Amino acid sequence: MKYKRILLKLSGEALMGERQYGIDPKILAEYANEIKQIHDKGVEIAIVIGGGNIFRGVAGASNGMDRVQGDYMGMLATVINGMALQGALEDKGMLTRLQTALKIEAIAEPYIKRRAVRHLEKGRIVIFGAGTGNPYFTTDTAAVLRGVEVHADVILKGTRVDGVYTADPEKDKSAVKFDYISFEDVLKKGLNVMDTTAFTLSQENKLPIVVFDMNKKGNLLKICEGENVGTVVNI
């Protein structure tokens, strides 16, 4: 396998499937199957999942809610998604641990870097919930931060599109996809890969990012086997 240890970033919105909000059990099961394929090959897997299918702090703030309060609500939404994904993975026979940046001892371990690394070494899938534990930071930033901390080889960002394009392919049919692009070129061209804080953290720590379509079956396994899927962002 090309990558020994990965940090998989999933969007909360993807869990909605065809629904307007919440979690679609069918999507959860599909994701669990995709993750099992690479887990069975010996890849060490850490996961960060967003909470946009339940609540977004930015959206709450735009409607007059206190931003800090809204962001903490968003962190709790990621914990709910983490628990749902944990259940789906365990249904497929995988061992998991949910660690959270906020202390919620009844349902999850507190995030401890050394403990997380030990779980990964033992073949357990570690799900990181509650973002960084701080308001004003996105789950993209949490994903890169945790990826750097646990020495992941790569950030795999699963999205609805199959890579990074010159423009939004859902709006501009003439948009061209990049197979490979440098961090520097992403910034020069003003492309949207991750939020600025997450992207800069990844660049400074030389941690590559692969943006790919998580909803296409087999993509996750192909990436881990070294096939050219999605867009690789690297130095």
Q: Which of 11, 28, 38, 157 is nearest to 86 (CA)?
A: 28
Q: Is 139 annotated as a binding residue?
A: yes
Q: Is 226 annotated as a binding residue?
A: no
Q: Is 196 annotated as a binding residue?
A: no
Q: Is 31 annotated as a binding residue?
A: no
Q: Is 110 annotated as a binding residue?
A: no
Q: Is 129 annotated as a binding residue?
A: no
Query: Which whole-number Å values give the CA distances from 58 to 55, 136, 142, in the listed order?
Result: 9, 9, 16
Phi, psi values for residue 99, rounded to 5°: -115, 135
Q: Is 62 annotated as a binding residue?
A: no
Q: Is 113 annotated as a binding residue?
A: no
Structural tokens at position 233: 């962002």
Q: Is 162 annotated as a binding residue?
A: no
Q: Is 11 annotated as a binding residue?
A: yes
Q: Is 213 annotated as a binding residue?
A: no
Q: Is 17 annotated as a binding residue?
A: no
CA dihedral 61, 64, 70, 74 (to 10 degrees): -60
Q: Is 138 annotated as a binding residue?
A: yes
Q: Is 134 annotated as a binding residue?
A: yes
Q: Is 25 annotated as a binding residue?
A: no
Q: Is 71 annotated as a binding residue?
A: yes
Q: Is 41 annotated as a binding residue?
A: no
Q: Is 124 annotated as a binding residue?
A: no
Q: What angle do CA 29, 34, 11 make, to 5 degrees?
A: 75
Q: Is 12 annotated as a binding residue?
A: yes
**Cβ pair 203, 20 in contact under 8 A:** no
Annotated binding site for UMP: 51, 71, 132-139
Annotated binding site: 9-12, 51-52, 56, 71, 132-139, 159, 165, 168
Annotated binding site for ATP: 9-12, 52, 56, 159, 165, 168
